[in-house]
Amino acid sequence: MRTLVLKVVALVAVTLMLPSLLIHAQSKEETSTLKVEAAKTETPKTQEFKPEQQQTKGSVTIGGSTINYDAIAGTLIVHPKDWDDVPQNADPDPKNKAAEASMFYVAYFKSDNKGAPRPVTFLYNGGPGSSTVWLHMGAFGPRRVVTADDTHTPAAPYSIVNNEYSLLDVTDLVFVDAPGTGFSRLSGKDKEKAFYGVDQDAWAFSDFIVQFLSKYSRWNSPKYLFGESYGTTRSAVLSNILETERDTDFNGVILLSQILNFSLDSDFPDANPGVDIAYQLNLPTYAATAWYHHKLPEAHPDLASLLTEVEHFAMNDYALALEAGSSLSTDQRNAIAEKLHQYTGLPVAYILKANLRINGGEFEKNLQDENDLTTGRLDTRFSGPTIDPLSKEAEYDPQSAAISSAYVSAFNDYVRKDLKYGEDKEYKPEIEVFRWWSFSHKLPGAPFAFPGSTNVMQDLAVAMKYNPKLKVLLNAGYFDLATPFYQGVYEMQHLPIPQSLYKNIEFQFYESGHMVYAHEASLKAIHDNVAQFIRDSDNLKGK
C-alpha cells in the first residue's frame, strides 16, 4: 500500500514476431508437457514451512450492538503455479528446495452466528511489498489505532480503541499479508522470482484463498475481495484467476485507491513523453488539494462543483493543448497556463517553465514552497517540513511519516497481547521487493507475458464478462495523489466490457486521501457504503 514505485516501460512491438513467438511457445509447451510427465514419477514434495493457528475470542461494538467473534491468527503454505508438476530437488540444503511461502492471516468469524450463511471478505494492502497492517488497524479490524486527522501523530503511547466502523457487522473478515511481508515468509530456490511479480503474487493469493475456503468450510459463503492501492491491481488479476482457473465465482470486488493501468501513473508521466493523459487525470486532485490549503486565487466554497469544472477542463481544453505539443501558439499556451494557475495555485511562470506538465512530486514540492512545506502524497491534506528547499520534487511523504509509527506500534502490541501470536517473531510492515518484482503480465488468453507497462484492466473485464453477476465498488479519496481518484474513474469508464455490465460498477468518493479511513468521517462513510454494497450483493435475501 505504502509507496508505489511505478515503472513506465516502453511497449515492445511484437506484431512482426508473433508467428515465430507462437511457434516457440508451442514448442516450449510440448517440452514442458514431457517434463511434467517425468515429474509425476518423482518423490512427493516436502514442505519447509508448517501451517500455524492460534485462536482467541473477543467482542466489538458496532452501531450499539455487541458482536462476539473468534479470532484466528495463523499461516497457510502456498506455492508457485504448477508447483506440483515440478520435481522436488533432492539437495538437502533448504535453499535448494522448491520455493514456497508461508502466508500470515488474521481471520475474524462471528462466533454466535448459529450456522446462518455469512459473507467472508479477504482484505489486503498493496505496495507491492506492503503488509495489511494499514487496513487491519486503521479501517475494518475490531480494534483501530487513533491518529491525528491531518498532522503528525505524537509518539507512543498510542490509543487503540474499539472500532465501531469494523465490517464485522456484515461480513467475516480475513486480513492477509503478502508473501514476505508481515509474518509471511519465503523459502526455497529462487523464492523471490517465484512470488515477486504481478502474476506470481496473484497466483499465491488464489492458492491461499482456495485453501482457506476448504480449511474453514466457507465454499458456500458469499465471497468478496477488498484490495487497496496495488491491492486493486492484485484484485483484478486475482478475480480473473479465481473465476476462470479456479471455478470460484465471487459476489463482489471492492477497490480502494485504484490503479489498474500503470501507464497512467501520477509520479512519472514525464518518463513517457507523448502520452499526456496522466497530467489530465492528476489535475482534479491538484485542484482539490489547492482548495484544501487555500491556495486557489479565487474562492470556491463547493468542492464538488469545482471538481466538475476542473474535470471538464482537463478532458477538453487542457487535453487539446497537450495534444498540440510544440504547435500550440504562444497565446494559447499562456491562456492554458493562466487556467492551470486558477486550478492549482502554482505560479504561471512555473507552469510555463514546466511546459504545462507538472507531475505529482513537483506539485507536492511547490504548492506550499513559500512556507518551506512539502504537501503529502498519500494524503495531500498533510504537510511537513521540506527536507531540501532546492529540490525539484518532494523527497518524502508527510502523511506516511505522520501515521506509520502509530499503525506499526499498535499492531505489534495488539497481535501479541490480544491475538497471542508473534512472540519471538519480527513483523515486517513493508519490505523492498522492486529489485526482483516483475511487472510483466500475461493477459487473459495470451500465450506469454507481454513486456510493457502493467495494465490489468483486461483481467477485471474478463472476470466481469465470465461472471456477469460480479459487482464492483470503487472507493477513492479526493486528496490522494498516489492513485488519483479521477484516474480510477477513467479506468472504469474504459474497461472493455459490454455497456450492459457498466451497471455493475458503483463509485464512492471521500474528502480524504489514499488511506480513506485515516479521516474518521470518511471511515464511517466507507463502512456504510461497503456494508450496503455487501448487503445488496450477498444473495442472502430470504435465506
Domain boundaries, the chain: 52-262+404-537, 264-399
Q: Mind listing the pLDDT tens digit for each residue in 499-540?
A: 999 999 999 999 999 999 999 999 999 999 999 999 999 999
pLDDT of residue 5: 40
pLDDT of residue 33: 38
DSSP lists the bridge partners of residue 323 as none
Three-state DSSP at 17 gives: coil
The CATH T-level fold of domain 52-262+404-537 is Rossmann fold (3.40.50)
Burial class (CB in 10 A: 0-12, 13-18, 19+), 195: buried
**What cell does 275 get?**
502520452
Position 54: which residue type? Q
CA separation for the pair 359, 392 (Å, rounded): 11
Residue in 181, 171, 155, 163 with CA at minimum distance from that of residue 234? 181
CA separation for the pair 135, 123 (Å, rounded): 8
pLDDT of residue 44: 43
Among left, alpha and beta (phi > 0; psi -120 to 50; other), residue 70 is beta
Kindly report the CA angle at 311 between 335 and 489, in degrees rounded to 5? Answer: 150
CA dihedral (479, 482, 484, 488) positive or negative: negative
pLDDT of residue 542: 67
| Residue spans of the chain under pLDDT 50 | 1-44
End-to-end CA separation in angstroms for the chain: 37
pLDDT of residue 114: 73
